[in-house]
Chains A and B, each alone.
Chain A
Amino acid sequence: MDLLDVNNLAVRIADKPILTDVSLSVSAGEIVGLLGPNGAGKSTTIAAMLGLLPRQQGTVAVLGQDPARAPFTIYRNIGVLPEQNGLYDWMSGEDYLAFFAALHGLSPESAMIAARLGAVGLSPRRGQRIGTYSRGMRQRLGLARALIGAPRLLVLDEPTNGLDPRGRHEVHALLRDLAAQGTGILMCTHLLDDVERLCRRVVVIADGRTRAEGTIPDLVARSEGASRYRLRLAAPPPSLAAVRGVGRIRQEGETWMIELEPGAAAETVWPELFGRGWKIVEIRDEGRGLESFYLSLTGLPERKAA
């Protein structure tokens, strides 16, 4: 049974459609990445599936139950790290966890609190005021709070936000351990590297609807037709006029991203560009990763070759 099953979810806020058709699922022991550009509706999806926002359409089952009808059973068995992870700065980390443990009806025994703090690497700072914590430490404490009550499902919004490389590595290891123990994890993030390292499946949301869902290899394979190359030029391109075989051209900082049309051969494109006066210094193939797939699906408005 899926721990989380969302089907055709639609949400309106102030009469404005925010989500129109979102579907996703998370099984036990699985880490699922929820991807999408800013404003795509990821946080709204999380809020709606937790019962914090009313939905206009669709079904949501968390641990087999509808959060609108049985929220407390669900809340007792899930852990959530919201995107905006506000804490009580005047409390110590230890007191903070003890407070939430008590609110979950658990005995705020020090062994459990110590274990959670240890799991996120905060044991040495457990007695310090949260106000003195760094951003990364605050994120770890939020994660520790989400782990109170040994949740069967974790919903994490940008869990590695603000963490240094070691912190990220430790959190990755922790999430892998939890998944190995059967915890289902939905991870909403912008860091595709995190997703590639941790997730088996990915759901991409854009414009309020699910645009793609599947395992990373499947999704990447689907994007094979749209090969992408990053070019470094010695001078700006003389013209962006249409080039046979090129679908889109977009400037990204100092480089230019070229997306070929399906079936087009790169070997025929480069001579054409050289012939038009493009001073190409370097060509890098970027056509086969998750980022390529993600960008092709959700790319920002691009400069279409005329």
Chain B
Amino acid sequence: MRRNLARFAAASAMAITVLAASCPSAAGDLSIAIAPSVDNPADPQMGDHLVFETRLTNTGATPVLGVISWLSIVRVDPGQEAPIGLEDWSAEKAVTRASLAPGETIATDWPMRLIQDGHYRAVVSAASRDGTILAASPFADFTVRVKPVVQSARVIPVAAGVPLLLMLLFFMRRRASSSR
């Protein structure tokens, strides 16, 4: 618990904030706590990796059957609010468990790669198979700085230079053979 608190404290110093992280939300018998990994970069930019750690706990007195937990990310920039398709962002899309006993906890790391700049909000949800329980974590907000993806100063010399070099080699060879 102390370790978790330390993590949350460290996270608060970063651009990633977890709202109400110390107050796990609860719905029915499941509660989810979310925190950014201490290894996350302080000022993430496009291409960096982030990891969010969650603890899904059965706080009830009876087992929860068929637990599924999943990650959602939404973009919250004004005018560009939209859910993010996780195809490119994360290979970890869901965690399942046949049964979660009372008091038992599933700790999960949710790695992701930052594809595009902007302000985002991550949330992990969980549900039981029978549909009677739905829980969501607090929001974990983070900001991704823009990074130039492909630099024209690097691309143009290569795109023009390689074909020119090939042609130069060809003409040098031809000149060498015809001057013999």
Most buried by A among B177, B178, B180: B177
B contact face: mostly helix, strand, loop, or mixed: helix
Closest to A126 in B: B180
CB neighbours of A127 from chain B (8 A)? 177, 180
Distance between Cα atoms of A176 and B178 in the complex (Å): 34
CB neighbours of A92 from chain B (8 A)? 177, 180
CB neighbours of B174 from chain A (8 A)? 129
Distance between Cα atoms of A132 and B178 in the complex (Å): 9
Q: Is A128 in the interface zone, CB < 8 Å from B?
A: yes
CB neighbours of B178 from chain A (8 A)? 128-129, 132
CB neighbours of B180 from chain A (8 A)? 92, 127-128
Cβ of A212 to closest chain B Cβ, rounded Å? 48
| Interface 0/1 of A115-158, CB less than 8 Å to B | 00000000000011100100000000000000000000000000
Closest to B174 in A: A129
CB neighbours of A129 from chain B (8 A)? 174, 177-178
Interface residue ranges of A72-109 to B (CB < 8 Å): 90, 92
CB neighbours of A128 from chain B (8 A)? 177-178, 180
Cβ of B166 to closest chain A Cβ, rounded Å? 15
Instruction: Tally B residues with Cβ within 8 Å of A.
Output: 4
Q: How large is the interface on A (under 10, 10 to 19, 20 to 34, 35 or more residues)?
A: under 10
Interface residue ranges of B131-180 to A (CB < 8 Å): 174, 177-178, 180
Cβ of A281 to closest chain B Cβ, rounded Å? 56
Cβ of B178 to closest chain A Cβ, rounded Å? 6
Closest to B180 in A: A127
Cβ of B169 to closest chain A Cβ, rounded Å? 13
Closest to A132 in B: B178
Distance between Cα atoms of A128 and B180 in the complex (Å): 7
| Interface 0/1 of A22-47, CB less than 8 Å to B | 00000000000000000000000000
Closest to A127 in B: B180
Distance between Cα atoms of A129 and B178 in the complex (Å): 6
Distance between Cα atoms of A90 and B176 in the complex (Å): 12
Distance between Cα atoms of A92 and B180 in the complex (Å): 9
Distance between Cα atoms of A247 and B143 in the complex (Å): 104
Closest to A91 in B: B177
Distance between Cα atoms of A90 and B174 in the complex (Å): 8
Cβ of B157 to closest chain A Cβ, rounded Å? 29
CB neighbours of A132 from chain B (8 A)? 178
CB neighbours of B177 from chain A (8 A)? 90, 92, 127-129
Cβ of B2 to closest chain A Cβ, rounded Å? 75
Distance between Cα atoms of A92 and B174 in the complex (Å): 10
Closest to A94 in B: B180
Closest to A130 in B: B177
Distance between Cα atoms of A128 and B177 in the complex (Å): 6
CB neighbours of A90 from chain B (8 A)? 177
Closest to A128 in B: B178
Cβ of A96 to closest chain B Cβ, rounded Å? 12
Cβ of A68 to closest chain B Cβ, rounded Å? 40
Distance between Cα atoms of A62 and B36 in the complex (Å): 84
| Interface 0/1 of B34-69, CB less than 8 Å to A | 000000000000000000000000000000000000
Distance between Cα atoms of A90 and B177 in the complex (Å): 9
Cβ of A146 to closest chain B Cβ, rounded Å? 24
Cβ of B177 to closest chain A Cβ, rounded Å? 5
Cβ of B180 to closest chain A Cβ, rounded Å? 3
Distance between Cα atoms of A129 and B180 in the complex (Å): 9
Cβ of B179 to closest chain A Cβ, rounded Å? 8
Cβ of B173 to closest chain A Cβ, rounded Å? 8
Interface residue ranges of B99-157 to A (CB < 8 Å): none
Distance between Cα atoms of A132 and B180 in the complex (Å): 13
Distance between Cα atoms of A202 and B54 in the complex (Å): 96
Cβ of A2 to closest chain B Cβ, rounded Å? 43
Distance between Cα atoms of A129 and B170 in the complex (Å): 13
Cβ of A107 to closest chain B Cβ, rounded Å? 21
Closest to A95 in B: B177
Distance between Cα atoms of A67 and B14 in the complex (Å): 82
Q: What 10 A-B pairs have minimum CB-CB distances, sorted nearest first? A: A127-B180, A129-B177, A92-B177, A129-B178, A92-B180, A128-B178, A127-B177, A128-B180, A129-B174, A132-B178
B-side residues, CB < 8 A to A, are: 174, 177-178, 180
Q: A127-B177, A129-B174 are in contact. List 10 more A-B contacts (CB 8 A).
A: A90-B177, A92-B177, A92-B180, A127-B180, A128-B177, A128-B178, A128-B180, A129-B177, A129-B178, A132-B178
A-B contacts, 7 listed (Cβ < 8 Å) = A90-B177, A127-B177, A127-B180, A128-B180, A129-B174, A129-B178, A132-B178
